[in-house]
Amino acid sequence: MKNGAWVVFRKEMSHFIGDKRLLFTAVIMPGLLIYILYTVMGMAMSAMMTEEVKSFKAAAVNMPQYIEEMLAQSEFEVQHISSDETEKIKQGVADGDYSILAVFPDDFENALDEYVSKLGADEVPNVEIYYNSADINSSQAYMKLVSTLDVLEDSLSNVFDINNSGKEESYDLATSEDTAGSILGSILPILLMTLMYTSCASLAPESIAGEKERGTICALLITPVPRSQIILGKLMALSLMALLGGISSFVGIFLSVPTLMSSVDIEGGSIGNISADVYKISDYIKLMLLIITAVMLLITLISILSTIAKSVKEASTLVMPLMMTVMLASFMSINVTPKDVSAASLCIPIYGTVIGFTEIFTFSVQAGHLLIAAGTNIVLSGVGIFVLTKLFNNEKVMFNG
Amino acid sequence: MNNNEIIKVENITKSFRLSAKQRKVRKLTESRIIAVNGLSFSAFEGEIFGLLGPNGAGKTTTLRVLSTILKPDGGNAYIDGKSVIGEPFEVRRRIGFLTSEVKLEEFFTPDYLFDFFCNMHGVDDEKRISRKQELFERFGIDKFAFTKVADLSTGMKQKVSLVTAVAHDPKVVIFDEPTNGLDVITAKVVTDFLTQLRMQGKTVIISTHIFSLIEKVCDRVGIINDGKMVMCGELSELTKSESLEDLFFRLYNEKGGETQ
Ligand SMILES: Nc1ncnc2c1ncn2[C@@H]1O[C@H](COP(=O)(O)OP(=O)(O)O)[C@@H](O)[C@H]1O
Ligand SMILES: [Mg+2]
């Protein structure tokens, strides 16, 4: 006798593959949607860059008094440091503790005077400004400082350079990871969860409540195949389809990333050369682990509700509270710094998964966190499958009792 | 026909809990309704047994218990010696269950559905292929084997429904209200199907409220009312002195049965 689960699985799959509408809503649409959303978001973000931010914490080496006074008008608070502290401050800029670091040459004013009097010596005084393009505050401080110095330079008839030391070193202290992380980590986790939910919710009610509604499930249930195998076959097919939806979302994201990144141009340099390849294979594997387990959980939960429902319509009503819960759990993760999250709160289904997504996108993965989130998904799916089997064996539930 | 008891029903009872809404609709105060109340009968190999009774008599419930869809509260029933309670999987291998309502997944073709149900029942490939060819030819489905069910005529859908229900060649066919709501031509297809099954030595049990159907196809009949067997026997014996219809109404009035 052929394995019943395999027989059911094949039937379910040939249904899904053959149904163009289903294939579109479950697999193609998520990717398309995310591509459009992210491309639009990329445009919106360049607008955001020009927004005013209140104050900047700058560190400076040898900054002349009159420049500091000019900057004070733009809400700069300057901390004078010695030149051996620069490495530490650079880290501070990268970490977001400082907005910016400006390094003026020793004896900047004399150098200027000398340069002016010689009328073009070979030593052009150079001002070095370190900033972090992934940090809005830092980017704005950079733009402000550069424009302030430009004004000054014009009045002195072009006598010094900014960030023109000829050094290999980059003045932008943001790593490409920072940049990708700050853009992808902000909303992508929620978006991904929402799209995964949408995929799942478009599949399970049709497959279970639909068969109940049309009465075709009866013929299935009086075959000698155990109901647990019937459930397994259905869940496998549903999860695979939802997973394809998740992958489609992914393809959508990574196709839109170049457009998204190139829109984030800031004065003094574009970061348009950044792409999604800042993520390593291991990041994708971790992401897949979370997506697979989360899809399993979502499919199981929606299947339970679809089994209780007598029709597809009733099922779509019953899943509404679940949708709200998923949304809520996702949005709860906004403004949460993964570092501060307790292990216990990662056991909250959906929420833990979204936090896990955030950690992956912002390069702050804590393996323990991901395992807790994925483990929670797996355990709950297991419980769900148990409940589902009970429901399938309940004549009241299955036969309209 | 011989005396081999293939279907044996022993004192089964089945009641349903009524929801508040159902109670209101039926104007009942009790929380449960007894659908089948201590029912016993037997059907023998190679015969067509008819359960005759008015709406709500408990026919569908009885057939659902026999098909392992519902578990009886009390009593037991056996198909080919296998208990519906103790060995439901063995019972399921031996039965085909049908109703007059066609319930097929419209998305698939007859060919696909036939294979699907064969595989669900563990029919081996050789048997599946020969059986499919024979049944499809007999019912004229072969021309439409690869047309989606959704695009078939009502009659053809009904034929596909019959054929897929017996794809695994069951010993017993359980058919709830076989001709209910069917047009005359489709009804004829169904009755011919039933008599063909008898010719093949299958045991068939049907339920109906239509006297003429019983008279046309059944060998034996059990008249039930209010979940109880009122009379059971050979059709030819029971209708020696009066028509089936007269018998039914005489019994019905004697028992003080009330119309719903
Ligand atoms: N799932 C159920 N819930 C509540 N009452 C039911 C259910 N199924 C059947 N009944 C009731 O049990 C009685 C017998 O029903 P049924 O077996 O369908 O009768 P028949 O098929 O002879 O018309 C009826 O009163 C019916 O309303
Ligand atoms: Mg009935």
Residues A39 and A64 reside in one and the same domain: no
Q: Which residue of B has its CA nearest to A11?
A: B116
Q: Flag whether pLDDT at B27 surpasses 90.
A: no
Q: Write the ipTM.
A: 0.91
Question: Both tokens of residue B23?
Answer: 């109670």
Listed in sequence order, the residues at least 6 apart from A207 whose beta carbon sits closer than 8 Å to its beta carbon are A12, A15, A234, A237, A238, A303, A306
Span B60-107, pLDDT tens digits: 999 999 999 999 999 999 999 999 999 999 999 999 999 888 889 999
Is the same domain home to A262 and A306?
Answer: yes
DSSP B124-140: -HHHHHHHHHHHHHHTT
Supply the pLDDT for residue A358.
Answer: 87
**Structural domain contains residue A120:** yes
Cβ B179 under 6 angstroms from ligand 1: no
Residues A138 and A184 in one domain: no
Neighbour-count burial of B251, counting CB atoms closer than 10 A to its CB (0-12 exposed, 13-18 middle, 19+ buried): middle
Query: Are A35 and A114 members of one domain?
Result: no
pLDDT value at residue A272? 47
CA-closest candidate to residue A175, choices A140, A131, A141: A131
Which of A156, A185, A204 delimits the end of a domain?
A: A156
Range of the domain at A150: 56-156
Count interface pairs A-B at CB distance under 8 A.
Answer: 62
Kindly give the distance from the C-alpha atom of residue A124 to the centroid of ligand 2, in angstroms, as a whole number.
99
For residues A106 and B111, the model is more confident at: B111
At B185, give phi and psi (nearest 5°). Answer: -70, -45
Question: What pLDDT shows up at residue A177?
Answer: 63
Distance from CA of A209 to the nearest CA of B (A): 13
Whether residue A251 is contained in a domain is answered as: yes
What number does the ligand 1 atom closest to the CA of B176 have?
A: 21
Largest CA distance in chain B: 57
| Residue A294 and residue A188 share a domain | yes
Residue A76, SS3 per DSSP: strand
Mutate to test the pocket of ligand 1, among B12, B16, B19, B180 (most ligand atoms within 8 A of CB): B16
Q: Is the residue at A167 inside a domain? A: no
Residue A135 within any structural domain of the chain: yes
CA of B26 from ligand 1 middle (Å) equals 12
CA B62 to centroid of ligand 2, rounded, Å? 9
- Beta carbons of B47 and B198 less than 8 angstroms apart: yes
Please report whether residue A210 resides in a domain: yes
Confidence at residue B25, expressed as pLDDT on a 0 to 100 scale? 86
Residue A168 lies in a domain: no
Mean of all residue pLDDT scores within chain B: 92
Per-residue confidence (pLDDT) for residue B45, from 0 to 100:
95
Q: What is residue B32's three-state secondary structure?
A: strand
Same domain, A257 and A328: yes
pLDDT score of A317? 82
Bridge pairing between strands A100-103 and A126-130? antiparallel
What is the average per-residue pLDDT within B164-192? 93
Contact A214 B105 (CB under 8 A): yes
Do A307 and A190 lie in a common domain? yes
Dist CA A67 CA A58 (whole Å): 12
> A2, A211, A397: which to substitute to probe chain B, counting the most B Cβ within 10 Å?
A2
Q: Residue A165 falls within a domain, yes or no?
A: no
The answer to whether residues A89 and A218 belong to one domain is no
Task: Give the CATH number for residue A106.
Answer: 3.40.190
Q: What residues in B contact A19, CB-CB < 8 Å?
A: 107
Neighbours of B173 (CB within 10 A): 23
Ligand nearest to the CA of B224: 1
Cα angle for residues A75, A79, A85 (degrees, 5° grid): 140
Residue A304 CA to ligand 2 center (angstroms) comes to: 29
For residue A211, list chain B residues with Cβ-Cβ distance below 8 A: 105
pLDDT average, residue stretch B6-29: 90
Cβ atoms B85, A196 nearer than 8 A: no
Domain count along chain A: 2
Same domain assignment for residues A366 and A343 = yes
Coil, strand or helix at B122: coil
Residue nearest to atom 26 of ligand 1 (CA): B56
B253 versus A158: the higher-pLDDT residue is B253
Measured from the Cβ of residue B259, the count of other Cβ atoms closer than 10 Å reads 7
What pLDDT score was predicted for residue A154? 73
Q: Tens digit of pLDDT per residue, chain A (401 long)?
A: 678 999 999 999 998 888 877 787 788 878 887 787 677 666 655 554 555 556 888 888 888 888 888 888 878 888 888 888 888 888 888 887 888 898 888 877 777 777 766 665 566 778 888 888 777 778 888 888 888 888 777 776 666 777 777 666 677 776 666 666 776 777 788 888 988 999 999 999 999 999 999 999 999 999 999 999 999 999 999 999 999 988 888 788 777 766 766 665 443 444 445 555 667 788 888 888 999 999 999 999 999 999 999 989 889 888 888 888 888 778 777 666 666 778 888 888 888 999 899 888 888 888 888 999 999 999 999 999 999 999 999 999 998 75
- Tell me what pLDDT residue A124 has: 74
Q: Do A193 and A326 meet the contact criterion of CB atoms below 8 Å apart?
A: yes
- Check CB contact of B68 with chain A, cutoff 8 Å: yes
Q: Cβ(B55) to ligand 1 under 6 A?
A: yes
The residue whose CA has the least distance to atom 24 of ligand 1 is B56
Does A198 share its domain with A305? yes
| Minimal C-alpha gap between A34 and chain B (Å) | 30
Shared domain check, A232 and A147 = no
Q: Would you say residue B13 has pLDDT above 80?
A: yes
Query: Chain A: nearest CA to B149, how far in angstroms?
Result: 13
The beta-carbon neighbor of A224 closest among B92, B116, B165 is B92
Shared domain check, A90 and A6 = no
Residue among B37, B55, B60, B63 to mutate when testing ligand 1 (max atoms within 8 A of CB)? B60
State if residue B35 touches ligand 1 by the CB under 6 angstroms criterion.
yes
Strand order across the B5-17 sheet: B32-44, B5-17, B74-79, B82-83
pLDDT for residue B194 is more than 60 = yes
Contact assignment for B120 to A15 by CB distance below 8 Å: no
> Given this model, what pLDDT does residue B26 score?
83
**Residue A312 located in a structural domain:** yes
Beta carbons of A200 and A299 less than 8 angstroms apart:
yes
| B222 and B231 Cβ atoms separated by less than 8 Å | yes
